[in-house]
Amino acid sequence: MAELEHPLKAEIETVRAAILASDASITERIKWKAPSFVHSGDDRITFRLAPKGIFQVILHRGAKVKDTTGFAFEDDSGLVEWLAPDRGVVTLPDAKTVKAKKAALVKLVGRWMKATAT
C-alpha cells in the first residue's frame, strides 16, 4: 500500500481501515498487489485497484470455485453487481461515491464475512 499510486488512494486506505476496524476476526494480506481480507482462513473480500482510476471490492468465497448449492446471500445494499451466486463486485468510481457508500459497504462486508464463514 505504501507504494500504491492511485487517484483514490486516500479513499482506498479509508475503506481498508474501516473494514479492519469493523471486526477483530478479519485479517488482511496482499493478493494481486491489493488488500485482501481473510475470515476463517480464506480470502473473502479482495480489492481490485487496476486499471488505474477504478476501485472495486470483490466479494467471493476463496480462490477456488465452490459448489453454490444451498448457498444464498440476501443482499439489500444495492451496491453489488452479482456475477455468480457467490461472487459480486462493488465499483466505487470516485471519492464522492466512496464517501457516500462507505458505511453501507462496511456493513455489507461484515454480513458477507459471516455468511461465508462456513
C-alpha cell at 93: 468510481
What would the DSSP string read from start to end of 46-94? EEE--STT-EEEEE-S-SS----TT------SS--EEEETTEEEEEE-S
pLDDT for res 57? 96
- Write out residues in the chain with pLDDT < 50, as ranges: none
pLDDT in tens, 38-55: 987 889 999 998 777 889
In the three-class reduction of DSSP (H, G, I as helix; E, B as strand; rest coil), residue 21 is classed as helix
8 class by beta-carbon count within 10 Å (0-12 exposed, 13-18 middle, 19+ buried): buried
CA-to-CA dists, residue 114 to 39, 46, 118, angstroms: 8, 16, 8
For the chain, domains (ranges, CATH) are 19-63+72-116 (3.90.1150)
- pTM: predicted TM-score of the whole model, two decimal places: 0.90
